[in-house]
């Protein structure tokens, strides 16, 4: 299934062969070796998509994708340490230690549409390089690089759009959103992540097509929305999320005009971004607990007036808020459990008795709950001195811990 690139050019699609310099020191050596093996066996092979885009934007790419005219079975035959994956479209993961490079076969428009249970059209139609470029969504993601010739192949002006800091779509945005409404969220994510201005015709298409997101299966939609806030550009994402009024569909608390609520939310997002940029782990449940805290706190305060104790009131508030949220945009169960534990641990930080302290310290969600308490303390919601005591206790050796326990007095 070896395509002829010259024939693809003759088909009338405008292509650009550019001598644009690519810093190959930023390209995975594993990816380069895979391309050499494919080309040695007379297959076309290029690095494509986000890696080339990021290098052109002077960023360090984390992932490298390769596109080729070799079929998955042919790729698998060439690389002993590889496996074929994918339902919508078969891909091959070529493995080198912990390094995994994704190799895909050029795609074409499918002749027979087969919609899977997740609402996505099955897509195992192979094609030429030109057809593969046409299938990609944004121009900045449709740039190919051949390390052997050191040439960039750019059919749709992606290099120019990157230089102009513009996010443009290949084809009519309305049609592309009809094909897959999740591209609306991808447009927002790339704009926020790459600081690219969204093209006017994409903005218009988002406004007219955003209700189609409601047709996307919940699990896929949830994952795409969380990517907006868990990939290091949450503050920019929430601005665009609100700009397109998507908050009304998923997280109404984003639209709160209360200054304290806004500060709490933005500080939580900012802290998450900083953790990601510092290569620290992030917990989706923590961020979701930030999103819904305003309502939990308000309901907790009201239930406190009638409940037998504050713990019961808090549990009632959590159940009420999660039930309400489930009717708007459900939280996946595993994250709902994490959120509930983070919230339920908050009152326990104030119960400074040795056994309770060590029991709390050993809780699996202690660190997330502690970070949440710090966020609350920043906004004046915690008893003065409590966060300082816990911070000192966590950092102390066993002897100092003993002293702190003997002298429990909050200022």
**How distant, in Å, are the alpha carbons of 5, 107, 308 from that of 127?**
11, 5, 68
Backbone angles phi, psi at 353, to 5 degrees: -120, 135
Nearest-10 Cα torsion for 248, 249, 250, 251: 10
Q: 43 exposed, middle or buried (CB, 10 Å; 0-12, 13-18, 19+)?
A: buried
Is residue 154 annotated as part of the catalytic site, yes or no?
A: no
Q: Is 316 tagged catalytic?
A: no
With H, G, I as helix, E, B as strand and everything else as coil, classify residue 385.
coil
DSSP codes, 207-261: HHHGGGGGGS-HHHHHHHHHHHHSSS-HHHHHHHHHHTT-HHHH-GGGG---HHH
Report CA dihedral (356, 361, 365, 370) to the nearest 10 degrees.
100
Please state the separation of Cα 23 from the chain's center in Å.
26
Sign of CA dihedral 198, 199, 204, 206: negative
Candidate list 137, 154, 199, 271, residue with the active-site label: 137
Counting Cα atoms < 13 Å in the Cβ hemisphere of 72 gives: 16
Q: Which of 61, 53, 240 shows the shortest CA–CA distance to 165? A: 53
Q: Tell me if 12 sits within 8 A of 34, measured CB to CB.
A: no
Q: Which of 63, 99, 178, 258 is catalytic?
A: 63
To which residue do tokens 């002006």 refer? 157
Cα(220)–Cα(114) distance, integer angstroms: 18
Q: What is the dihedral of CA 142, 146, 149, 151, to 10 degrees?
A: 20
Q: Which of 65, 123, 132, 199 is catalytic?
A: 65
Annotation says 273 is catalytic: no
Q: How many CA atoms lie within 13 A of 29 on its CB side?
A: 2
Residues with Cβ within 8 Å of residue 377, at least 6 apart in sequence: 386, 387
What DSSP element (H or E) covers 56? helix 50-56
Q: Catalytic residue positions?
A: 63, 65, 137
């Amino acid at each position: 299934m070896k395509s002829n690139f010259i024939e693809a050019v003759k088909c009338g699609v405008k292509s650009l062969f550019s001598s644009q310099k690519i810093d190959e020191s930023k390209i995975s050596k594993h990816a380069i070796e895979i391309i050499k093996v494919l080309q040695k066996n007379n297959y076309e092979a290029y690095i494509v998509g986000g890696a080339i885009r990021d290098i052109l934007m002077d960023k360090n790419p984390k992932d490298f994708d390769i596109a080729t005219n070799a079929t998955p079975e042919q790729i698998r035959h060439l690389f002993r340490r590889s496996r074929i994956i994918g339902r919508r479209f078969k891909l091959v993961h070529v493995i080198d230690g912990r390094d995994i490079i994704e190799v895909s076969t050029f795609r074409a428009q499918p002749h027979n549409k087969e919609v899977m249970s997740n609402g996505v059209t099955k897509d195992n139609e192979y094609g030429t390089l030109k057809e593969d470029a046409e299938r990609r969504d944004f121009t900045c993601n449709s740039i190919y690089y051949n390390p052997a010739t050191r040439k960039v192949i750019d059919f749709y002006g992606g290099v120019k759009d990157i230089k102009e800091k513009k996010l443009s779509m290949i084809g009519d945005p309305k049609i592309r959103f009809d094909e897959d409404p999740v591209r609306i969220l991808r447009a927002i994510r790339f704009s926020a992540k790459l600081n690219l201005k969204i093209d006017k015709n994409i903005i218009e298409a988002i406004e007219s097509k955003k209700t189609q997101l409601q047709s996307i299966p919940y699990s896929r939609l949830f994952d795409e929305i969380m990517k907006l806030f868990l990939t290091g550009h949450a503050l920019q994402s929430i601005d665009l999320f609100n700009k397109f009024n998507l908050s009304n569909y998923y997280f109404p608390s984003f639209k709160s005009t209360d200054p304290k609520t806004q500060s709490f939310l933005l500080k939580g997002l900012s802290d998450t971004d900083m953790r990601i940029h510092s290569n620290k782990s992030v917990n989706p449940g923590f961020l979701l607990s930030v999103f819904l805290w305003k309502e939990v706190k308000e309901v907790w305060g009201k239930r406190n007036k009638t409940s037998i104790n504050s713990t019961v009131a808090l549990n009632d508030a959590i159940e009420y808020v999660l039930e309400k949220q489930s009717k708007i945009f459900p939280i996946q169960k595993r994250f709902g459990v994490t959120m509930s534990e983070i919230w339920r641990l908050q009152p326990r930080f104030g119960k400074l008795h040795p056994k309770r302290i060590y029991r709390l310290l050993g809780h699996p969600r202690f660190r997330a709950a502690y970070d949440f308490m710090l966020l609350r303390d920043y906004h004046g919601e915690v008893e003065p001195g409590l966060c300082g005591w816990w911070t000192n206790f966590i950092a102390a050796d066993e002897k100092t811990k003993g002293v702190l326990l003997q002298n429990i007095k909050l200022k």
